[in-house]
Amino acid sequence: MNSNGKVSPQKPLGEVTEENPVILSPGYANYVLGVLFVVYVFNFIDRQVMSVFIGPIKQEFGASDTAMGLLVGFAFALLYTVAGIPIARWADSGNRRSIIAIGLTVWSAMTVASGLARSFVQLAIARVFVGIGEAAGSPPAHSLIADYFPLSRRATALAIYSAGAFVGSGLAYLGGGYLREYFDWRTAFIVVGAPGLLVALLVRFTVKEPPRGYSEQRTAEGESSTFVQTLRFLAASRSWLCLMAGFSLLSLTGYAVLMWGFEFFGRIHEMAPISIGNWMGLIVGIGGSIGTIAGGRLVDRLAPENPARGLRAPVLVTLAGFPLGAAFLLADSQFLSLLCFAPFYVLLNVYVPAMYAYNQNLARLRMRATAAAIMLFVTNIVGAGLGPLVVGVLSDYFAPEFGVESIRYALLCALALGALGAALLLVSSRTVERDLLRSR
């Protein structure tokens, strides 16, 4: 943006200008994306391994499904989302690279501490601090990616980063299945937490901090805003409000499946832990990544010419997979359930890159990390917080009538809420083109 407030013509990434006197090559941008992807993989390994050990932890501490829903949901999500706001404000003016490295150090150390817990309360406290550390991950990472990658490649870059969630979850299932079979849950937390401390050093000493607005060859001078101003700016966008509501409900479905899927296959289909870990690891890790990256490519292909279509198309693809989701939960056959689960999980995540890309695009330059934190605050309170809790509460509620089958019907309720979320995203697409003009 020049001194007259107009957007300057976009120049190739790496071109030296008076405003941007540094060169960051496309190859280096890809390297940074790879490092951030690895960070996100560890984010979800440390987060998701808890779901593999719901059964043993519940048995050791004598907890209910509701209590376990609180542990894997709100104990993690509450301070994860609350801490994300001030950390994002810091990231909008501070060194994003260093913030990510600090957060990774904290959440890795607290995952190790989870394995040392001797009571349910101690474990819950450790998970709270895991959430605080992980709050320093995605908001600054989204902002960095937006500065490293231009609009024409941004959704795909965010999709590749987001795929780390599925790779991390898949590795947590694969490794967790074996760890649950041969070791106790405490050993598992120590094993998965310790390597993150080394990755934190990699981030700190090899990732460079780019100028704000680097990928768009414009500066953020004079754009600094308070949190309240940022929230008011975003909330004035009808498409952004619908985006938040829809993404929240769809993320509720996603987290419900991630956190209770292992227990579902164990209780309903009586699968062995290693078998569940292998199947869920492959389906979540590979299927979720394929769906997310395909969604990013779809957005990058359609959005430049028609922003509304770029949002609408991936949501419709996701919505088309919901009948498969119902079949996966209702099937009596283990084979049929897995056969439906695989394509359902691919389609369930096609919409994700559109949410991250449009959230960044609807915000101004120095609002981007805060915009990411607000999105993560809303969606994680509903998704990561309420999703596992709702399933736990409904499972306990349905148990007197349905017994072990209660988990099946609790997950069906979560699936229905996701369908409502998809409908709200379709409403968002009707006004998104107009609202995108406000961020320029």
pLDDT at 23: 64
Compute the C-alpha angle 287/53/112, nearest 5°.
100
**In which region does residue 31 sit, left (phi positive, over 0), alpha (psi from -120 to 50) or beta (all else)?**
alpha
Let me know: does 351 contact 429? Beta carbons within 8 Å.
Answer: no
The single-letter code of the amino acid at 130 is: V
User: Is 117 in contact with 184 (CB distance < 8 Å)?
Assistant: no
**Helix axes 74-91 and 120-134, enclosed angle (nearest 10):** 30
Q: DSSP of 127-190, one letter per residue?
A: HHHHHHHHTTTHHHHHHHHHHHS-HHHHHHHHHHHHHHHHHHHHHHHHHHHHHHHHS-HHHHHH
pLDDT of residue 411: 97
Quick one: CA torsion of 405, 413, 135, 371, rounded to 10 degrees?
170
Mention the CATH class of domain 26-211+225-439.
mainly alpha
Question: In Å, how far are 112, 128, 360, 363, 412 from 436, measured between CA atoms?
Answer: 43, 36, 10, 8, 35
CA-based radius of gyration for the chain:
21
Q: How many CA atoms lie within 13 A of 353 on its CB side?
A: 37
Q: How far apart are the first and last CA of the chain?
A: 9
CB-CB contact of 278 with 174 (8 Å): yes
Domain map of the chain by residue range?
26-211+225-439
What is the rounded CA–CA span in Å between residue 92 and residue 104? 18
CA distance 11 to 382: 40
- Are 179 and 188 in contact by the 8 Å Cβ rule? The answer is yes
Say whether pTM exceeds 0.85.
Answer: no
Which H or E run includes 278?
Answer: helix 273-282
Check if the beta carbon of residue 158 is closer than 8 Å to that of residue 357: yes
**How many contiguous H segments (helices) and E segments (strands) does the chain have?**
22, 0
The residues, any chain, with a CB within 8 Å of residue 406's CB and separated by 6 or more, are 394, 395, 396, 397, 398, 399
CA–CA separation, 335 vs 23, rounded Å?
A: 53
What tens-digit pLDDT sequence spans the chain (440 residues)? Answer: 344 444 344 444 444 344 444 567 878 889 999 999 999 999 888 888 888 888 888 888 888 888 887 777 777 777 777 787 888 888 877 888 999 999 999 999 999 999 998 888 899 888 888 888 888 888 889 889 888 888 778 888 888 998 898 899 889 888 888 888 888 889 989 998 999 999 999 999 999 888 776 666 655 455 556 788 888 898 898 999 999 999 999 999 998 998 899 899 999 999 998 899 899 989 999 999 999 999 989 998 998 889 899 999 999 999 999 999 999 999 999 999 999 999 999 999 999 989 988 988 888 877 877 887 788 788 888 887 788 889 989 999 999 999 999 999 999 999 999 999 999 999 999 998 888 887 66
C-beta separation of 166 from 255 below 8 A: no
Q: How many residues does the chain have?
A: 440
